[in-house]
Chains A and B, each alone.
Chain A
Amino acid sequence: MEEKTPRVEIIPEQCKGCELCVVECPQDVLFMSKKINQFGYMVAEYKGDGCTGCGFCFYACPEPGTITVYKKKRVKKEASA
């Protein structure tokens, strides 16, 4: 069950609403939603498409497991370097 397109997953219950992922996303596909989690934070959300799997949001997020980025399938380079 291989996925072709890159995507990002944000666990709303683990989001602290800091907005740091949103400002780092070069594709502008993340946004602060109006949804409020159990802590009372407004959580970050993915628009649903346009993610390139660059991983910037993953490193931007201070929380360990809130964001997971599913990158594109790695095409193995031919026997060179």
Chain B
Amino acid sequence: MQEVLGKPEGFVDNFVRKPGDYPKVTHYCPGCGHGRVHKLIAEAMADLEISDKTVLISPVGCTVFAYYYFDCGNIQSAHGRAPAVGTGVGRSNPGSITISYQGDGDLGAIGTAEIIHAANRGENMTVIFVNNGIYGMTGGQMAPTTLEGQVTTTTPTGRDIDEAGHPMRMSEMIATLEAPVFVERTAVTDTKNIMKTRKAIRKALKSQKDGYGFSFVEILSSCPIGWKMKPVAANQRITDEMVPYFPLKNFKDEIENRSPRPTKTVDPDPNKIIEVLGVDKDERLFKKDQSFIDNFKDQHVRIAGFGGQGVLLAGTTLGYLGMETGLNTTWLPSYGPEMRGGTANCHIVLSNKEVGSPLVEKASTLIAMNQPSLNEFGVTVKPGGLIVINSSTVEGKYTERDDVTCLYIPMNEIAESLGVMQAANMAALTAYLAYSKAFDVDMLTSLIKANFKKKTLIEKNVAVIQKTYEYVKENYLN
């Protein structure tokens, strides 16, 4: 039979998870090194017959969408946390294969702690570390591995090592640790080096399959777009500029000298977990009141404002009210894909039934602490719903909707008049509770007394709650 070298079976045939009309091509830029690395992993998974028991942890970075392509399990982790997620996957699924696929921003910057400690513990995982010396996904900022003098969007005059430190050699660092069994740096520049990379990936995965624990393959790879170069020239740059600083070599290979580690079996007893967490005890701040629970009307609340307004704390406080009275409660903070400070918002669902989704798409109540939040989320409030507006920052009336009730509360003024600017969030929460009657305002006071540590803060917050309650009674309740 004729031998055929084609799309490896470690890939799914059609990338059905990828949106759009082209389920056969990747989302990567032309000539991107990630594609070459993907092909080698897919081929190795198929040849080692491990696809069915492999979980690939995709990072944040251009490979965040790696799950479009590979025919194996996937968990997409938070930025830099792939080795931590991999630890959980590996430990709770003995005999499985974990691949932590990470970029240099992911592994060498935000995730430095996770990778060092996962390596040091010798977790059962193979790390594929793609070093392209730049943040590709976000448009070419400096990474820990950016070379001295290299121009990026955040080093417009070149990386200054006095200011930004030296480029980090991660393989060398990992190799000093005891536990890792295999550590090698390769490059996907030309056929010779691609073949060396192929061999290293296979060796690393095989060692994990055989039970040796932690293996690490660093791959120098091009980012033609971030480097503003043609793909062929970009690969040449790796050879000319990166390899002299990041030598291609094996730093550690202890496979011959060690024996496979025994597979640890974990046998989680659900009852034991409940006991350890203490959630079996019915200990609540408020005595269980079945008729309160039975008559509780579902609350879908969105609280939004800018960072520093205590939006998330207002959300957890409301969540605690739910939990301490025996309701089912979810609280979900929500940031955009790139967290740049600025706006913050959270979703709270409270119900006497099981909560299907923690997302509040149609809010029964919106608390809008500033103008942008009102503009963005005002339209999502259910007809007949409530909007609590911070009139200290929002000018004029909200005229976009005539099918909702608006409360205008000078939250900053109330909080400031009592000497606690940070307590504007409590004014917001109080106004919502006083008007909606979802909970007694007194319960909020009791909760603050039980949860806050500092006595002076408790007093001031309680004063804010009282003053706001008076304000709502005077202006909106009769």
Contacts and interface: CB of A to CB of B under 8 A. Distances in A.
A3 B34 CA distance: 33
A53 to B, nearest CB: 8
Interface in B1-39: 1-8, 11, 24-26, 28-36, 38-39
A62 B39 contact: yes
A19 B4 CA distance: 22
Contact of B5 (A24, A41, A66, A68): A68
A70 B6 CA distance: 8
Contact of B69 (A2, A3, A64): A64
Contact of A18 (B1, B8, B31, B195): B31
Chain B binding surface SS class: mixed
For A11, A59, A74, the residue with the greatest tally of chain B CB atoms inside 10 Å of its CB is A59
B25 A69 contact: no
Contacts of B38: 62, 64
B8 A64 contact: yes
B7 A65 contact: yes
Contacts of A11: 24
B231 A20 contact: yes
Contacts of A70: 2-5
B277 to A, nearest CB: 44
Given A20-B235, A24-B191, A63-B26, A55 B2 contact: no
Contacts of B31: 16, 18-20, 62
Contacts of A65: 6-7, 11, 24
B2 A14 contact: no
B5 A69 contact: yes
Contact of A63 (B2, B5, B35): B35
A63 B28 CA distance: 9
Nearest to A16: B30
Contacts of A58: 5-6
Contacts of B40: 59
B191 A68 contact: no
A36 to B, nearest CB: 14
A23 B191 CA distance: 10
B42 interface: yes
Contacts of A66: 25
Contact of A59 (B33, B39, B235): B39
Contacts of B33: 62
Contacts of A24: 190-191
Contacts of B235: 20
Contacts of B25: 14, 16, 63, 66
B1 A73 contact: yes
Contacts of B24: 11, 13-14, 64-65
A69 B3 CA distance: 8
Interface in A26-75: 41, 53, 55-56, 58-74
A56 B198 CA distance: 12
B3 A62 contact: no
Contacts of A3: 2
Interface string B108-126: 0000000000000000000
Contact of A68 (B4, B36, B194, B232): B4
A18 B194 contact: no
Nearest to A18: B31
B11 A71 contact: no
Contacts of A68: 4-7
A71 B8 CA distance: 15
B6 A59 contact: no
Contacts of B39: 59, 61-62, 64
Given A18-B231, A19-B231, A20-B31, A64 B5 contact: no
Nearest to B70: A64
Contacts of A56: 191
Contacts of B3: 53, 70-74
Contacts of A62: 26, 28, 30-36, 38-39
A9 B31 CA distance: 19
Given A14-B25, A62-B28, A64-B42, A69 B6 contact: yes
A55 B28 CA distance: 22
B232 A19 contact: yes
> Which 4 pairs across A and B sit closest by C-beta, in order of nearness?
A62-B35, A65-B7, A18-B31, A16-B30
Given A13-B24, A64-B69, A69-B4, 7 more contacts: A18-B30, A61-B36, A62-B38, A63-B35, A71-B3, A73-B1, A74-B1
Interface of A: 2-3, 11, 13-14, 16-20, 23-24, 41, 53, 55-56, 58-74
9 contacts: A2-B2, A19-B230, A24-B190, A59-B36, A59-B40, A62-B31, A62-B39, A64-B11, A70-B3
